[in-house]
């Protein structure tokens, strides 16, 4: 009789133990907190820079969302899709979540340079989107 295919697999269990140990290390948790703060700060600046476009920034840790408003006769979903396209053309992959929300879920170990570069590209994509619909 077989209960599960992978249940109790010693190798998989050891790998999971190692991964959870790395993720819960003080160094990793400090890095995640600092990266989250940088994202929140920059996204709040985007909200202030584009009040006609950004309704709300929400999330926790490194799971973040930028809720958009409709602009220039376009719905928030259409605006989100336009920003995703503009960002992709500039080398940044972001996706939507729900209606009119840009979802940001970077890797937990994302390098500082990549955070800055990605947020700059997102800002350019938002600027381009506003120009396109006004």
**Domains and their CATH numbers in the chain:** 36-133 (3.90.1150.10)
* Half-sphere exposure at residue 91, Cβ-oriented, CA atoms within 13 angstroms: 6
pLDDT at position 7, please? 67
Under DSSP, the state recorded for 90 is T
DSSP per-residue string spanning 64-75: EEEEE--BTTB-
Q: Would you say how long the chain is, in residues?
A: 134
Give residue-wise pLDDT tens across range 111-133.
999 999 999 999 999 999 999 98
Structure tokens at 96: 């939507």
Q: Give me the pLDDT at residue 134, please.
A: 79
What is this structure's pTM? 0.84
Identify the three-state secondary structure at position 7.
coil
Task: Convert the pLDDT of each residue in 58-73 to its tens digit.
Answer: 999 999 999 999 988 9
Q: Which two tokens stand for residue 127?
A: 């600027």
């Amino acid at each position: 009789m077989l209960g599960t295919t992978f249940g109790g697999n010693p190798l998989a269990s050891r790998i999971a133990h190692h991964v959870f140990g790395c993720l819960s290390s003080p160094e990793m948790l400090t890095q995640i907190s600092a990266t989250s703060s940088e994202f929140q700060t920059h996204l709040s600046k985007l909200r202030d820079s584009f009040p006609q476009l950004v309704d709300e920034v929400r999330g926790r840790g490194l799971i973040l969302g930028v809720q958009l408003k409709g602009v220039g006769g376009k719905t928030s979903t259409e605006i989100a899709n336009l920003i995703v396209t503009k960002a992709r053309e500039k080398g940044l992959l972001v996706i939507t979540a729900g209606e009119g929300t840009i979802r940001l879920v970077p890797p937990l170990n994302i390098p500082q340079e990549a955070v800055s570069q990605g947020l700059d590209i997102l800002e350019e994509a938002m600027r381009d989107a506003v120009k396109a619909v006004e």
